[in-house]
A and B are shown apart, each in its own frame.
Chain A
Amino acid sequence: MTTMKMERGALWEVNSRTIVYAAIGAALYGVLQLFSFLLPGTQNVDVRPAFAIVTFFGYAFGPVVGLFTGFVGNMIGDQLRGYGLLTYWNWSLAGGLVGLIVGLAPLYLSRWVNGNLRDRAIGGAVAAAVGVVIGFIFIFSDIWVGGSSANQLLTTGYVPIVVSDLIVGIILTPILVYAWEPVKEQLGR
């Protein structure tokens, strides 16, 4: 598996590289989640610099790694905070879906993904935005799981989390792409 410029068939490949990148991504996301700060004006939504790990790993290493990083990484964060792996499983899965959708960028942003470094960085920001807006729709499953109302989920869940993670994804994903690309060249990946 090469990174960024991925063959369509290789998108779903699961090999030792996929496994290790997924595990590293989830562990990074889990560790960094402990260091987030509240978004001013909201009660319970953090600006999570850690979330850039999900969008970046999805973009750089594919949908399987992105899904795992978001899903398992969020569960690890909950585990470290003592809530248990599965207590907020649907929020974790929403994070995983973001990583999955960003990882599918070669299918819908091929011009940017296969372009020069600047194009790939822009592609990372766009894919992060698409992933965040679509992936977090899954939190509306709380209507059935937790009995929340759609209104409440929209105003105090979806909109704040999408706004905060859009800020994070659009700013930090391209920065991580710029930092990773030269290193990737050095490693011969």
Chain B
Amino acid sequence: MNIAPRYLGRGSWLARRDPRLLVLVVVLFVATVSQVWDGRAVVGLVIIAFGYYALAGIPFREVRRNWIAALTLITIIVLVNTVLTGSRFEGIVQHSFFALPLIGTPVSAESLSYAVTQWLRYAAMLAVGFPVAFCVSPSDFGVTFARLGIPYKLAFAVDLTFRFLPSLAGEYQQTIDAQRVRGYEPGSGGNPVARLRRSVPILVPFAVNAIVGAEDTIDAMDLRGFGTGQRTWLRHLAFDRTDRIVLLAFVALLVGATIAGFTTTTSHPWTPQFLIRLAGG
């Protein structure tokens, strides 16, 4: 079983950037998108996000399932949020198409455009988030967070987490095999409690063995004096000119969105006139 993070963007333009840039871009972009509700501005952000995503060079066939799962999830969230509950529009004049049977929530020009805007916002955030998953070498996460100012012990823990993944995945499979030899059948169906109970023969030995196995790592770290002084990292990270330009561009985007939020209507939902006319408004 191989569940190590997939470094699919290896060699791409984004993968050649300083990994701190990819992390900072997500933070800056999410902060930007969170302030924008005007659908026209959101479309602009979507174009920027997918332009950025294209630079990651991630083969689509390798991530098709990830995209389907992620888009399904945000579609469900948006449907439930805006169409079914509709609570965002209490006290606002709505140009209603019809009311949903049983629950009576109006489906209006305003709620539809809000739903589309929210869906686009989530899609843009995903497009900027995916490169972190596929364009940063798993061995670089520790030094990335350390150089972003996270205390080095915690950054080392992040590094260690990624190193534990492949061996733990192997041990997980071994635990399942060992229990099957003893007659364990994972099965399917049943109520959640029954299914939880069936997970116990796997979960408990797997977790306890992992903790016991960690003792060797603790001893090795103690013997090397871990924690007695600031440690250095083998991998050196340095922003080049291109990294700085990209970073500045995303900082400018955030500043621009913040200023626009106070001075224009970008922080308010926008409803296209044709939808209002369609609703008979």
User: Which residues 176-221 of B have a CB within 8 angstroms of A?
Assistant: 191-193, 195-197, 199-200, 203-208, 210-212, 214-215, 217-218, 221
B50 to chain A, nearest CB (A): 15
Name A's interface SS: helix
In the complex formed, the residue of B with least CB distance to A148 is B81
Known: A19-B221, A172-B200, A183-B208. 7 other contacts (CB 8 A): A16-B227, A34-B3, A53-B207, A146-B34, A167-B192, A172-B199, A187-B212
- Which of chain B's residues have a CB closer than 8 A to the CB of A179? 204-205, 207-208
- The minimal Cβ–Cβ distance linking A173 to chain B, given in whole angstroms, is 11
B104 CB-CB contact with A under 8 Å: no
Contact between A83 and B126 (Cβ–Cβ < 8 Å)? yes
Q: Is A20 an interface residue (CB 8 A)?
A: yes
| Interface assignment of B265: CB less than 8 Å from any CB of chain A | no
Main secondary structure of the interface of B (DSSP, over half): helix
16 A-B contacts (beta carbon < 8 Å): A16-B227, A19-B226, A21-B214, A27-B168, A32-B172, A39-B192, A73-B161, A81-B69, A82-B130, A86-B30, A87-B132, A147-B118, A152-B85, A156-B80, A175-B204, A176-B208
Distance, CA A27 to CA B37, complexed state (A): 37
- Complex CA gap A148/B86 in Å reads 10
CA distance A24 to B164 in the complex (A): 7
For B135-159 the 0/1 string (1 means CB < 8 A from A) is 0000001000000000101101110
A14 to B168 Cα, complex, angstroms = 23
Binds B, one of A4-12, A42-50, A102-110, A116-124: A42-50
Q: Is the CB of A44 within 8 A of B196?
A: no
CB distance B196 to A28 under 8 Å?
Answer: no
Assembly CA distance A27 to B3 (angstroms):
11
- For residues 23 through 57 of chain A, which have their beta carbon under 8 Å from a beta carbon of chain B? 23-24, 26-28, 30-32, 34, 37, 39-40, 43-44, 47, 49-50, 52-53, 56
Does A146 contact B121, Cβ atoms closer than 8 Å?
yes
Is B43 in contact with chain A by the CB < 8 A criterion? no
Chain B nearest Cβ from A133, distance in angstroms: 18
Instruction: Given A84-B129, A171-B196, decide whether A28 and B210 contact each other with a Cβ distance below 8 A.
Output: yes
Report yes or no: A14 in contact with B153, Cβ–Cβ below 8 A.
yes
5 tightest A-B contacts by CB? A84-B129, A87-B129, A82-B66, A23-B160, A27-B164
Question: What A residues does B88 contact at CB under 8 A?
Answer: 149
Whole-angstrom distance between the Cβ of A11 and the nearest chain B Cβ: 16
Instruction: Give per-residue flags for A104-146: 1 if the beta carbon is below 8 A from chain B beta carbons, else 0.
Output: 0000000000000000000000000000000000000000111
